[in-house]
Structure 1
Amino acid sequence: MVHHKAPPPAPEGAACAAAGCGCEAAARAVENGSPAFRRAVWIVLGLNAGMFALEVVQGQLAGSMALQADALDFAGDSATYGLSLFALTQSLSFRSKAALVKGVSLAIMGVYVLAAALWRTFVDGTPDAVTMGWVGALALSANVISALLLLRFRDGDANVRSVWLCSRNDAIGNVAVLCAAGVVAYTATKWADLFVAAIMASLFLSTASSIIRQARGELRLQAAA
């Protein structure tokens, strides 16, 4: 009787792959890339982490849930690149556990944004459209800079090439925030801000759920091996 060996558990990037977030191959590219590519990723990681902090703070000050939801995107990218860089010499078990932590963290933030957006529907007040506009524009610029830094290393490799897809998808969220800022300024109401926040947070909850399921599956495979 032939016994088929179970396939090895996928790395942390595979958890992102299940979510369809567009950055899973970028994580593998970090692992397989040259030292120069990894240095560029460190710069991109700094940009993403900085924008996450800025959008969280300015989102609170401006009363904008869309900015806080967009911050989730930067948080997710920071976690993806950061874990990929840190976990290069770690075990598959560590990487799967790190992915699980990432998924749970994103889920918590997504629930917070959704709950806060729901609460804001019953509270008077309009977000600061000017702050939404300049922070959204800065976030879009950060993603464009990230794409330009990383696209230098494309050279036909599908994994590295996927970094563009990741940055492109991030830019969609930035554009959504800018559109919401324009509608808020034109209508002097909060509804566009809350709508964009709810949509983005819902997408991140879906992503977090997929990451958690995939990471738990990897851990079960590792335990059975």
Structure 2
Amino acid sequence: MSTGHDHGHGAAGFNAAFAIGIGLNMAFVVVEAFYGWRINSLALLADAGHNLSDVIGLVLAWGAALASRLRPNARHTYGWKRASILAAFINALLLLVAMGSLAWEAVHRLQSPEPIDGLTIMLVAGVGIVVNTITALLFMRGREGDLNIRGAFLHMAADALVSAGVVVAGSLTLWFGWTWLDPVASLVIAAVIVVGTASLFKQSLHLLFDGVPESVDLHEVQALLEALPGVARVHDLHVWAMGTSEIAMTAHLVMPEGHADDAFLQRATGQLHDRFGIEHVTLQVMRVPFTTPCARSDDNTRLSDPRSVPRTVP
């Protein structure tokens, strides 16, 4: 048996980013909500609500990143790595619910538009562009390797674009007196955020149910294992995400004529890590399969292969 334990802790380097991002956005939420209430701007109030949900999301993401660093014990042998997946899912769910409420209110406001202060909207939203851009840049370098960090980056980058849209809406309202533009801008904000959040929601839900991460092609993993010298068949191949930045894999290698020494297992583990980013690899080697193979719905060849029928061990 070979088990690789080259665990990544990329999220650990973002403690300062989380602290700064939460502080900046919380301060901006207070400012934006105050001026939104003062001038009766639904666009500002909506964006303040969304930024508040982002603060909550950043807190969840930070807590999950810290939890994922807790050492495994006898009751949690993988530790708390999945907390980062759960945080990403809750973050996406909160955003979708918040945007649904925003769209509902915007539709009602669109039926009876109210006058607003376009200049104040432009100034406050301009501050939002700066705050959200700075926060997004804090998470930019970690967006490729961690779904949790990527969620934080995408939200902040999207917020910067949304704030820019609010500035445009405020300027048009100021120049042309289009009072209907405020609720319309709110609907556009909701649509943009829902589109950006849908992917995060889908991916986090997929990983919560032990789905194969998008970066891994299961058929290519099986082909790599079957191409190893001495391997006749591969049974019980499972790949799942332990967290938002760490992938695990288990498999049974049927090697009737061969012998898997340390060099063989080290080479196989290294290839899986280098090609697919799988960090936690467990391989069980057997000369004759003695367990019932797990049959996938997309693997008809294994079901029809008479050699796959397991032998009974007395």
TM-score normalised per structure 2: 0.50
Q: Which residue of 2 aligns with 1:55?
A: 32
2:128 to 133, 139, 161: 139
Q: Say if 1:30 and 1:81, in contact at 8 Å, map to a contact too.
A: no
Change beyond 3 A, Cα 1:132–1:81: same
1:64 maps to: 41
**Cα distance in 2, alignment partners of residues 30 and 116 from structure 1:** 40
Alpha-carbon offset, residue 101 of structure 1: 2.0
Equivalent residue number for residue 11 of structure 2: 31
CA distance in 1, matches of 2:125, 2:168: 9
Larger Rg: 2
Task: Provide the secondary structure at the position in 2 that maps to 1:125.
Answer: coil
What is the distance in 2 between the residues matched to 1:221 and 1:197?
36
Q: State the aligned residue count.
A: 191
**Aligned: 1:130 with 2:123:** no
- The alpha carbon displacement at 1:73 in A equals 5.1
Q: 2:55 aligns with which of 48, 72, 78?
A: 78
Cα deviation code 1:104-148 (max 9, x no counterpart): 211121011111111011114122213212211221232354467
Instruction: Answer 1 or 2: which has greater strand percent.
Output: 2
Counterpart of 2:191, as a letter, is: S
Answer yes or no: is the 8 Å Cα contact 1:68–1:113 preserved in 2.
no
1:213 maps onto 2:199 in alignment = no
d(CA) in 1 for partners of 2:208 and 2:41? 38
Q: Is the 8 A contact 1:113 1:201 kept in 2?
A: yes
> What's 1:173 paired with?
162
RMSD after superposition: 3.6
SS at match of 1:56: helix
**Matched residues, percent identical?**
23
TM-score (norm. length: structure 1): 0.67
In structure 2, relative to structure 1, the CA distance for the partners of 1:29 and 1:66 (3 Å cut) is farther
Residue by residue over 1:148-178, the C-alpha shift from the partner in whole angstroms, topping out at 9 and shown as x without a partner, is 7x39x96x99669x88877554322222111
Rounded Cα–Cα distance in structure 1 between residues aligned with 2:143 and 2:203: 25
Structure 2: gaps (5+ residues): 1-7, 69-79, 212-237, 241-314
Question: Counterparts in 2 of 1:89-168, with a 5 A limit?
Answer: 89-90=67-68, 91-146=80-135, 150=138, 168=157
More helix by share: 1
Report if aligned partners of 2:32, 2:45 keep a CA contact under 8 Å in 1.
yes
- Answer 1 or 2: higher relative contact order, Cα 8 Å, separation at least 6: 1
Q: Which moved more, 1:176-185 or 1:80-89?
A: 80-89
CA contact (8 A) 1:30 1:85 kept: no
